[in-house]
Amino acid sequence: MTDANAREAGGRPAYLGLGANIGRRARALSDALALLDATDGLSLTAVSSVYETEPVGVTDQPRFLNLVARFECRLSPEELLAAAQDAERRLKRVRARRWGPRTIDVDILLIGDERITTPALTVPHPEMTRRQFVLVPLAEIAPEVALPGGRTAGELSGGESAAVRRLGTVAEVVARESAEAGSDG
């Protein structure tokens, strides 16, 4: 079935990478998932564990919380990008510095087997096969998904390490974060 036919029949899988490293990080991930799932044309079907990860690129910043989510997607790539950017905007994402601190980041990793290169969007995500903070959670929910270069997420994932540490489900991590925030006050 082509992606166009899959769209008409109910969609195709879209994998999104979410990350946050300032503010209530786990709450931002949870809120972004809820906003995306509430979008017409998107239906959340799987969510990885939350992982605490070291920053990449600009390393003088707080550690990130990252996860990967799978959605059944009936949106065009441009509509999916707009939904991701809308979630970021609604959660107060400020783009001050490339790879800098952020309240939320939503990256489109894969949309079915589509290949897209426009000034606004490249799919598959051009850096995903080099980023363990993407590969480890992606391999958790979709180890057999084929990636650029022909290898799978499971083959490329290095698993948990000091740089990519599993913290638990989104609900568990949000509860711990809320309890910690309450004890700070």
What letter would DSSP give residue 114? -
Return the amino acid letter for 119.
P
Active site residue 105: yes
Closest CA to 114 of 78, 69, 154: 78
Active site residue 107: yes
What is the Cα–Cα distance from 53 to 134, expressed in whole angstroms?
A: 10
Among candidate residues 12, 25, 74, 105, the one labeled active-site is 105
Q: Are 135 and 145 in contact (CB under 8 A)?
A: no
Active site residue 93: yes
Among candidate residues 93, 115, 166, 176, the one labeled active-site is 93
N-term to C-term CA, the chain? 55
Among candidate residues 86, 102, 130, 165, the one labeled active-site is 102
Among candidate residues 107, 115, 166, 176, the one labeled active-site is 107
Closest CA to 146 of 182, 102, 113: 113
The size of the chain, in residues, is 185
Q: What are the two backbone dihedrals, phi and then psi, of residue 51, each rounded to the nearest 5 degrees? A: -120, 140
Catalytic residue positions, numbered: 93, 102, 105, 107
